[in-house]
Amino acid sequence: LDVSSSRRKAHKAHFSAPSSVRRKIMSSSLAKDLRAKHNTRSVPIRKDDEVRVVRGKYKGREGKVTQVYRKKWVIHIDRVQRDKSNGASVPIGIHPSNVVITSLKLDKDRRAILDRKDRKKNPPPNLARTSGEDVEMVDVSNTAAFAGPEYLIGSSSNRPPVRHYALCFVLFGHLKTLMYLCVHYSIYDMLHGTGSPLRRRRSHDS
């Protein structure tokens, strides 16, 4: 699958998408009762669905979808209109993400889509694979990477030598290793009031 992180390419792909792709993008959330009934969060909106506007200037308006205008990424609702100067009424475009579906127009194809999206009838593969299986717990109490404050308070013999950290830094060239080394021995100095092994070794040499 060829996926690009380029803003330019993503913008072009979105606004030049075919109608079949726009249908899925122009999906709306279901109301709480429909969400519980069909076990899905959203479906592609279609004509004759009843919706409620939940965001924007026309928040709170309810009505039936009269047109799904995929070319302009908007839907038209029968009760969201404005009057022109000549007295004619024109619909105002509302983005599907700004409405919730309160009543679905159900037919044979729509029911098949809802059955396919039902999470109880068709759980996602990752949930189906792990359901009923016991998860093995790993004991990390003796692992230095997961040790708590008691590891820092322990004696110097319990702490890994400085050369281990230096070797990690040389091998991986990672700045986080050096930062962890500095913080680690700074906390040790604050708790014990003694110098770090590096400082003690320098004093012995002098």
Q: In the predicted model, is pLDDT for residue 161 greater than 60? A: no
Q: In the predicted model, is pLDDT for residue 149 greater than 50? A: no
43, 33 Cβ separation under 8 angstroms: no
pLDDT at 148: 47
Cβ-in-10-Å burial (0-12, 13-18, 19+) of 50 comes to middle
Average pLDDT over residues 131-136: 54
Q: In the predicted model, is pLDDT for residue 151 greater than 50? A: no
Average pLDDT over residues 129-153: 50
Give the pLDDT band of residue 106 (cuts 50, 70, 90).
Answer: very high
Task: State residue 179 phi and psi, 5-degree precision.
Answer: -65, -40
Give the pLDDT band of residue 164 (cuts 50, 70, 90).
Answer: low
- Between residues 108 and 184, the one the model is more confident about: 108
Architecture of 7-121 per CATH? Roll (2.30)
Q: How far apart are CA 164 and CA 160, in angstroms?
A: 7
Q: In the predicted model, is pLDDT for residue 108 greater than 90? A: yes
Nearest to 25 by CA among 76, 107, 95, 92: 95
Strands 50-53 vs 99-103: parallel, antiparallel or unpaired? antiparallel
3-state class of 50 per DSSP? strand
Please name the residue that has the structure tokens 């050369």: 163
Express each pLDDT in 41-74 by its tens digit.
Answer: 999 999 999 999 999 999 999 999 999 999 999 9
- Between residues 87 and 2, the one the model is more confident about: 87
Domain boundaries, the chain: 7-121, 145-205
- Between residues 74 and 125, the one the model is more confident about: 74
